Chains A and B, each alone.
Chain A
Amino acid sequence: GAVVSQHPSWVICKSGTSVKIECRSLDFQATTMFWYRQFPKQSLMLMATSNEGSKATYEQGVEKDKFLINHASLTLSTLTVTSAHPEDSSFYICSASRELDNEQFFGPGTRLTVL
């Protein structure tokens, strides 16, 4: 149990377009979901925290108009990278906090490449 999926696992897009990444908790309800960004050979950096039905809370330095987060249900959160640029190319990882015990479970990540 406690599986988190992400879709797509990788995506290539042109500069200026928008890309949506989905994060789903498959077998549990997630009170809170988190979005991280990981650069090659580097650590995970928290981008934002989202709670179902409310606005996401963004970390300092993260552009909320560029990285739109929607948490429409207790099992689904989406991250939309708007007007993507090559510098947005990265590995995006989500995690979901299980309502039962607040333990976080991580998705496998989405590799975004912006040409």
Chain B
Amino acid sequence: AQSVTQPDIHITVSEGASLELRCNYSYGATPYLFWYVQSPGQGLQLLLKYFSGDTLVQGIKGFEAEFKRSQSSFNLRKPSVHWSDAAEYFCAVAKGAQKLVFGQGTRLTINP
């Protein structure tokens, strides 16, 4: 069965520091992979997605992610975080046509 694992429940980084959020997936075929951000009172917002092609994907808000098939990973990165990046981040894999299977989420806290 398809599954997504985000090993880190909570990460704290200092403002201006680099960030990497980990995501590992289990999927039998070529996966469709997504990163979403959830802020209180707002719906999940798509940061970026990978369907095929270049394994380094650029997203919104300065985020990028790299698909590594050999490691079954799709880690999210940002070179310099801002206080406004504090939120919950979810990695997801598309199951079937559009069904999304989400990871457990990683809560990001930013220290001033």
Least CB distance from A94 to B in Å reads 9
- In the bound complex, residues from chain A placing their C-beta under 8 Å from that of B104 are 42-43
Indicate if A27 sits at the interface (CB-CB under 8 A).
no
Give Cα A95–Cα B98 distance, bound, in whole angstroms: 11
Check A43–B43 contact: CB distance below 8 A: no
Whole-angstrom distance from the CB of B81 to the nearest CB of chain A? 22
Is A92 part of the binding interface, using a Cβ–Cβ cutoff of 8 Å? Answer: no
Shortest Cβ gap from A14 to chain B (Å)? 26
Taking A43-B90, A44-B90 as contacts, is the C-beta distance between A108 and B102 under 8 angstroms?
A: no
A-B contact count (CB 8 A): 44
With a cutoff of 8 Å between Cβ atoms, the chain A residues found around residue B100 in the complex are 34, 44, 46, 104
**Contact present for B44 and A93 (CB under 8 Å):** yes
- Number of A positions contacting B (CB below 8 A): 21
- What's the dominant secondary structure at chain A's contact region? strand
The answer, yes or no, to whether B41 is at the interface (CB within 8 Å) is yes
A42 to B102, CA, bound (A): 10
Which of A41, A46, A103, A107 is the one whose CB lies under 8 Å from B43? Answer: A107
Q: Does B42 contact A (CB under 8 A)?
A: yes
Query: Is A106 a contact partner of B43 (Cβ separation < 8 A)?
Result: yes
Roughly how many angstroms separate A102 CA and B98 CA in the complex, as a whole number?
8
Listed by A's residue number, 28 A-B pairs whose Cβ atoms lie within 8 Å are: A4-B43, A34-B98, A34-B99, A34-B100, A42-B104, A43-B102, A43-B103, A43-B104, A44-B44, A44-B100, A46-B99, A46-B100, A46-B101, A49-B98, A49-B99, A93-B44, A95-B43, A97-B98, A102-B98, A103-B46, A104-B46, A104-B98, A106-B36, A106-B43, A106-B44, A107-B43, A108-B41, A108-B42
B-to-A contact residues, CB < 8 Å: 36, 41-46, 90, 97-105
Residues of A within 8 A of B (CB): 4, 32, 34, 41-46, 49, 93, 95, 97, 102-109
